[in-house]
Amino acid sequence: MGFGEYPADYNPKVHGPYDPARFYGKPDTPFGQVKIGELSQWFGRRNKSPQAMTGAISRAWWRWQHKYVQPKRSGIAPFFQLVSGAMVFFYVINYNKLSKHRNYKYH
């Protein structure tokens, strides 16, 4: 699978039109249905390559796009999600600077 190509498991005759938010690999037990004793085996079956991680992030991005941004009557939710995400991100990267401005009580 190269950049800009369909996944290797995608078959247009079986799956129909390509959906970038769908995983076309072999289905596995969803994370919410995994028991604690089986958790290490479940993580062992995951593909941890950079290409697989990029694909997972891309699918999550397209799912978010399809749910919040691309509907005909999308609301203000994606704007607030982006703003709150940016606020958390900038708080984390500036935490060391902000922690030096705490008000300490000396007595």
Rounded Cα–Cα distance for residues 13 and 105 (Å): 70
Q: Is the pLDDT of residue 7 over 70?
A: yes
Mean pLDDT, rounded, for 34-46:
92
> CA–CA separation, 2 vs 51, rounded Å?
9
Q: Distance between CA 21 and CA 38 in Å, rounded? A: 27
Per-residue pLDDT of 74-106, as tens digits, reads: 899 999 999 999 999 999 999 998 888 777 776
Write the CB contacts of 6 (distance below 8 Å, at least 6 apart in sequence). Answer: 18
CA distance 103 to 107: 13
**Contact in structure between 2 and 14 (CB atoms under 8 Å):** no
**Residue ranges per domain, the chain?**
12-75
Instruction: Give, for 89, the enclosing helix (H) or strand (E).
Output: helix 77-93
> Residue 26 half-sphere exposure, CB side, CA atoms within 13 Å?
4
